[in-house]
Amino acid sequence: MVNYDLNGDIGTCSDRAKKLKPCPAGSEGTCCRTCYVGPCRFIGSGAEENVRGVCGSTLGVISSRQFLSMSASGSAIYANHARELALNLLTAARGETKEHAINNWHKLYVIANSMDIGSGEMSKEKIAEEVALRYLEQFSRFKGGLIGVERAPQKRLAIWDRLEIMPRGIDREITEAIYHASVGIDYDAEGILRQALQVAIATGWCSGTMAADIKDIMSGHAEVEAMPSPTSGTMRFAHGYLEQMLRGRHSGSLGSLSKLISSGEIRGIACLVDCYHPRYETLAAHEFAVTELIRNDILVIAGGCNNSIADSASLSPRRAVEIAGNGLKNALSVSGIPPILLLDNCSEHARILTLLSAIAEECKMDDICRVPSAVFTPHWFSGTALSIGSFYAVSGVQAIFGGKSPAAGSKEVTTILTEKWEKQLGAGFSFLEEAGDIVEAIMDHIDDIRNESQLTPYYSVQLK
Ligand code: SF4
């Protein structure tokens, strides 16, 4: 778009961002326009303690409603993406379209088997149709037992049970989120934010794994033998590679990756999320953060718009190998694991969490929060980012986001998103302004987990 508008005739979002400054109250979550009695503004010193909206809401309540609204809108995007894919699978199975086809029958049978679908008499098309219908049923369920959620470790499932945030149906959780974010329904900030976690489990573990599996079934990607060359530090479209790693079909297998993490050769895993922020030099911040992370032996897995980091000269596949620390260099030459893995779009995060879950099991850890990892973005800006961050946090992976917290104006909500979630889930959100601080926070967090999980300290490997 920027290249297309070289004459500046159209104007880009970056141009408009320079002219239009953010509203100071809105950017801290201190202005409520949930109903038309307001907007009510919670400003001035002591606003949290002294100001009430016309409906009686506190700053914590309106701020938590806004967080939930944004996060649920992002979840709705992921859910609709998965629904479209399930409908594509259905039309392909019924032979109603030439646009979509099933190219990976093996994967379809694996999924059908996990759903107890298929018998001797059933045609393969009928099996595919039943799988698509089972997927579509996940949206309208109201009692729980969602497909994909069971891929989380037992201990994580027990945490969700204890907190009473086990999701019931994808559409139900999104509807409940809109309900709890409305005026006159819920006046408990912690309860309102619990719904953000519940919708994140539904859309992350259920619609996320659904979308990933259907893409494999339709595209046949998981069958692609994608091995990096020993000189290539970046692998694009690594979703097939991750799938094969989980199935133990690569020399860079799950076992090797888990061993390299346990031994400290690979210090940890950092997952890069979200898109460009028109107010910042986001690409430069991405390049800086990814460079520093792989230099310090942290494997980077990125999705969506972040794929363009591979086009930057400073992070070309060959350059990535040169920059990478000795541990990552060794991982590439011995096990074929490149320092940077790029997934094809930002709805691929279910694959990453499935991988972290499998690493936890392989390393005999009881939960994802024991795996040295974090999710980050240099500049978050959308509801999808808050949805993804909530999905990682509820799964036990700290979300370290660049930029201001959408709830910066409320001490109550800040405490819930950071300290309370950390205590309940083993992970929460951190918001930091500078890319350097984000990198430091990721490394500190990963080293703390290594210490708590009694893994070999990373620095002792470097001293060898
Ligand atoms: S929901 Fe309450 S705080 Fe928000 S605008 Fe309406 S009256 Fe004001």
- What does the block give as tokens for 173? 């959780």
37 Cβ closer than 6 Å to some ligand 1 atom: yes
CA-CA distances (angstroms) from residue 252 to 23, 53, 256, 415, 443?
49, 56, 6, 40, 24
Q: How far is the CA of 286 from the centre of ligand 1 (A)?
A: 38
CATH code for the domain of 189: 1.20.1270.30
* pLDDT of the residue at 224: 46
Indicate whether residue 181 lines ligand 1 (CB < 6 A): no
Ligand 1 pocket mutation pick from 62, 69, 185, 187 by most atoms within 8 angstroms of CB: 62
339 shares its domain with 382 = yes
DSSP string, 394-448: HHT-EEEEES--TTTT-HHHHHIIIIIHHHHHS--EEEES-HHHHHHHHHHHHHH
314 and 382 part of one domain: yes
Whether omega for the bond prior to residue 22 falls within 30 degrees of 0, making it cis, is: no
Both 101 and 121 in a single domain? yes
Residue 74 lies in a domain: yes
35 lines ligand 1 (CB under 6 A): yes
Which parts of the chain sit beneath pLDDT 50? 223-225
Residue 203 falls within a domain, yes or no? yes
The answer on 172 and 292 residing in a single domain is no
Tell me whether residue 15 is in a domain.
no
**Distance of CA 33 from the midpoint of ligand 1 (Å):** 6
Q: How far is the CA of 390 from the centre of ligand 1 (A)?
A: 25
Write the pLDDT tens digit of every residue in 118-160: 877 899 999 999 999 999 999 999 887 899 999 999 999 999 9
* 107 within some domain: yes
Give the chain's domain count: 2
- pLDDT score of 287: 86
Which of 186, 219, 252 finishes a domain? 219
Q: What is the pLDDT of residue 15?
A: 83
If one residue of 30, 33, 34 were mutated to test the ligand 1 pocket, choosing by the most ligand atoms within 8 A of its CB, it would be 34
**H/E element, 332:** helix 326-335
What pLDDT is stored for residue 119 in this prediction?
76
Does 255 map to a domain? yes
With a pLDDT cut of 70, the percent of the chain lying above it is 88
pLDDT of residue 348: 77
What local confidence, expressed as pLDDT, does residue 64 receive? Answer: 97
Q: Whole-prediction pTM value?
A: 0.92
| Rounded to 5°, angle at Cα 227 from 110 and 303 | 75
Q: Which of 164, 185, 219 is a domain's end point?
A: 219
Which residue has a Cα nearest atom 5 of ligand 1?
38
The pLDDT assigned to 2 comes to 59
Residue 416 lies in a domain: yes
Pocket test for ligand 1, best of 35, 52, 58, 182 (most atoms within 8 A of CB): 35
Does 233 lie in the same domain as 211?
Answer: no
211/232 same-domain check: no
Question: Is the C-beta atom of 57 inside 6 A of ligand 1?
Answer: yes
Q: Is 197 in the pocket of ligand 1 (CB under 6 A)?
A: no
In the numeric block, which tokens belong to residue 163?
């907190």
Domain holding 363, by residue range, is 227-462
Q: Of 191, 219, 247, which marks where a domain is finished?
A: 219
Q: Whose CA is nearest to atom 3 of ligand 1?
A: 53
Same domain, 256 and 172: no
pLDDT at position 220: 65
Task: Kindly state whether residues 293 and 156 are assigned to the same domain.
Answer: no
Q: Does any ligand 1 atom lie closer than 6 A to the CB of residue 94?
A: no
CA of 63 to the centre of ligand 1 (A): 11
Residue 34 in contact with ligand 1 by CB distance below 6 A: yes
Which residue in 163, 171, 186, 156 sits closest to 64, CA to CA?
186
Check which CATH number belongs to the domain holding 268 and give it.
Answer: 3.40.50.2030
**Do 89 and 214 belong together in one domain?**
yes
374 bridge partner residues:
270, 398
Angle at which helices 59-93 and 170-180 cross, to 10° = 160
Residue 4 falls inside a structural domain: no
